[in-house]
Amino acid sequence: MLVDVVMPKMGESITEGTILEWRKEVGDTIAADEILLEIGTDKVDSEIPSPNAGVIAEILAEPNDVVEVGKVIVRIETDGDSAVVKKQEKKPVVESSSKEVVEPDSKKEIVKEEAVVSAPPSIIREQTDKKETSGKRFFTPVVKAIARKEGIRLEELNIISGSGINGRVTKKDLLAYIETRTAVPTAPPVPAVVSQLTDERVEMDKIRKSIAEHMRMSLDTSAHFHLMNEVDMTHIVQYVDANGAGFKSREGFSLTYTPFIVYACVRALQFSPDMNSSLEGTTIIRKKNINIGLAVAVDAGLMVPVIPRCEELNFLGLCRKVRDLAARARSKKIKPDELSGSTFSISNFGIFNVTIGTPIINQPNVGILGVGTIKKKPVVIENADGDAIGIRSMMYLSIGFDHRLIDGAGGAQFIQSIQQNLENMDLEHLF
């Protein structure tokens, strides 16, 4: 039986998707839940599993085709024997001699049909492969993004051998090539020649365009205002240093500073309902749940997966959620529905050793927290015996908020609340 597979609906606002790569060809067998193809949207690239086991009978869309949600893109024959028969029926008929066909007109003209001889499957496959490699090659957005970052032009990209389907260059192939490329000794010096250098013009990929449009829309929508404060993270740094190894042994992943920041932010949002809101015209919509959008840097740009109902999670639950979302976002396993519905966002640019920044609000949120790197520095410490100078692990926080709803006093109170939650966190009773 033939089963139609349609372009899946990948989020409430998603109406179409781009075919990036087929993992199977016509005639290939596939198991249920085995990866069938890769689809890109304006939010994320996703691997799509097959809903049925069977044989690929027909592929109705090519790589780079933009297909509407609900349109048939592939047909799967769920009965293996039937699939084989149908595939054989499509083969050209082999004739050993010409045959005569008499036309039904008065001249009775005789037409000879030339015999059609089908080539062996191995030859057909060889010819197909040659066509794939000799013509215009398809490169995924991830591969093209890495190539641009490393200064690899299209001419050089075309000579890289690929291990993917039909010799397609994968991310692993490109990274291996870059490593070899940088290790190869430079060619002997040649006499300098005067050349005319031209600027390279590269079209944005789909995800980069979406990010650009979203950021521009945010600046055009919200009245951005930023405040900064410095936080003493010394006791949290010491706690992670002392307990990180045991945590990793129990949970299987490292204890980072991000869950502490999310935990402190959620506690502050519980007492700041306007910061956990959105605006529709002049109407304030205060959200009943705290859904934290966590900005994650990926090869194609920036992704903001969402941790829903954070107020219901304990600290260990937040650790697991942060780890899971970040890992799946970077491995392109995140679902489009997990990229929407945030009520407040956090951008941790400190992982790139950046001290401070002024993040752009993630619409329709009215606030975003920017997190800088933690650095040791001399600080004045106040105590009962007087002031002293000590070395402390300090971190800058920056809060960006929509001044249409949040005043400076409200923004200051919120960032101070996060600071106090971090500096006075009861670390002994987190788990």
Residue found by looking up tokens 């990010």 in the block: 211
Dist CA 269 CA 179 (whole Å): 46
Residue partners of 311: CB distance under 8 A and separation at least 6: 266, 270, 289, 290
**Is position 426 annotated as part of the catalytic site?**
no
The answer to whether 211 and 218 have CB atoms below 8 angstroms apart is: no
Dist CA 382 CA 297 (whole Å): 39
Burial readout 98-134 (b: 16 or more C-beta within 10 A, e: otherwise) = eeeeeeeeeeeeeeeeeeeeeeeeeeeeeeeeeebee
Q: Is 53 helix (H, G, I), strand (E, B) or coil?
A: coil
DSSP for 287-350, please give it. -SS--EEE-EEETTEEE--EE--GGG--HHHHHHHHHHHHHHHHTT---GGGGS--SEEEEEGG
The answer to whether 129 and 165 have CB atoms below 8 angstroms apart is: no
Reference 370, options 352, 392, 396; nearest CA is 396
Catalytic residue among 385, 407, 426, 429: 407
Helix, strand, coil abundance in the chain, percent, nearest 5: 35, 25, 40
**Is position 403 annotated as part of the catalytic site?**
yes
Question: What type of residue is 265?
Answer: C
Dist CA 240 CA 254 (whole Å): 10
Residue partners of 196: CB distance under 8 A and separation at least 6: none
Strand bridging mode 224-232 / 110-113: unpaired
Beta bridge partners of 274: none
Other residues' Cβ atoms within 10 Å of the Cβ of residue 329: 22
Dist CA 50 CA 78 (whole Å): 11
Give the E-state strand segments of 252-298 in sequence order. Answer: 277-280, 283-286, 292-294, 296-298
Catalytic residue among 214, 224, 226, 403: 403
Dist CA 274 CA 252 (whole Å): 37
DSSP 8-class letter at 28 = -
Reference 299, options 88, 134, 150; nearest CA is 150
Strand bridging mode 54-59 / 99-102: unpaired
Active site residues: 403, 407
